[in-house]
Amino acid sequence: MMDKIKVSILGSTGVVGQKMLRILENHPYIDVVNLSASRSKIGKKYSESVAWVEPGDIPERFRDMKMVSTDPEDHKNVDYVLSALPPEVAEDIEIKLIKNGINVISNASPFRMAENIPLINPELNYQHLELLEKMDTKFVKNPNCTSTIMSMPMVEVLRHDYKKITLSTLQAVSGAGFTGLSYMSIDDNIIPYIHGEEEKIPAEISKMFGFVSNNKIINRELNMYVTSVRVPVKVGHMGIMNIEFNDDIDIENFKNSLRNFTPLKKFKNLYTAPKNPVIIHDEENRPQHKMDLSNGMEIHVGRLEYKNKNLRMVILGDNLVRGAAGITVLTLETMNEMGVA
Ligand SMILES: N[C@@H](CC=O)C(=O)O
């Protein structure tokens, strides 16, 4: 039996932190040994520190765990820190951990675009994890939730010669975090702007589809334009993507390639990897939040329509699971399988 990978969860009381605990509750080889959040919670039991919003009860084994600080001394006993910290505090805390030799996989935005730090959506670019072989202390980033979800079907788009990609995203309230948006501002309303999102999405996707050269990632140039709005659903980011191709494509081949896209199949112990990361729907009323988010790691794609070298598709994914907590865990599992953890 292999030794378990010991982890700390930073930001464990937020929506993403709670989701990580749900995913790791019965994980066969990742063991959560420390929980931390803001200073005011140090020494308290987890159950007294959290405003629990995740469906179901707080997992029994975490209820009485005593909260620790984010300081490196409190994380010397783990193999990895998984960070679900808010961006305002993540930068300083994560750098301090790295400087003290503590490996970090982080969901927070600072350093996502650094050329020597892998930005991983495992099915798309697990190969970038080779950069870790040269790092004494490992530092890995997850993309923003929307970049993670929308990039998945782009794997097939980018195999063709295209002129322009236009994406409109309809993003759930949970993407703004537990205290991000008041009920009064989003109830019966759509907010036509999400700060920073429209720049982040194409930039991060261009990094994910980049290549490694001389220990850094060279981004792939993209001609992509994004509009992002906040809509009143709790979970699930939807995107409407239009692609103008230079040459004709075969739409049935396009769909089949996505259906058969299973690049992680060769790794046997990926507990959180879905069998098929992209699910293609032919029904005109799919994908839908109410029908398609039960396995949070899959990306659902429907309404594919191809005419005159133009393709339209509607994309849906769970922003908290695939977009944040689940991708962090899948990245660690993949690193472990590749022998770079
Ligand atoms: N920036 C996203 C959250 C995902 O990382 C959002 O605001 O929905």
Cα–Cα distance, 242 to 312 (Å, whole number): 5
266 has a pLDDT exceeding 70: yes
Copy the structure tokens of residue 99: 């400087």
CB-side neighbour CA atoms (13 Å) of 244: 6
- Amino acid residing at 286: R
157 has a pLDDT exceeding 80: yes
106 has a pLDDT exceeding 80: yes
CATH topology of domain 5-144+324-338: Rossmann fold (3.40.50)
Domain layout of the chain by residue ranges = 5-144+324-338, 145-318
CA of 50 to the centre of ligand 1 (A): 21
The pLDDT score that the predictor gives to residue 1 is: 60
Mean pLDDT value of segment 247-275? 97
Mean pLDDT value of segment 268-277? 96
CA of 83 to the centre of ligand 1 (A): 15
292 has a pLDDT exceeding 90: yes
Mean pLDDT value of segment 50-55? 96
Using CB atoms within 10 Å of the CB of residue 71, give its burial: 0 to 12 exposed, 13 to 18 middle, 19+ buried.
middle
CA of 124 to the centre of ligand 1 (A): 20
Of the chain, the end-to-end C-alpha distance in Å amounts to: 17
Mean pLDDT value of segment 218-241? 98
Cα–Cα distance, 337 to 266 (Å, whole number): 10
The pLDDT score that the predictor gives to residue 37 is: 87
Task: State the complex-level ipTM.
Answer: 0.95
CB of residue 145 inside a 6 A radius of ligand 1? yes
Ligand 1 pocket test, pick from 15, 20, 146 with the greatest ligand atom count within 8 Å of Cβ, gives 146
What DSSP character marks residue 72? G
CATH topology of domain 145-318: Dihydrodipicolinate Reductase; domain 2 (3.30.360)
**Chain segment 19-29, per-residue pLDDT in tens:** 999 999 999 99
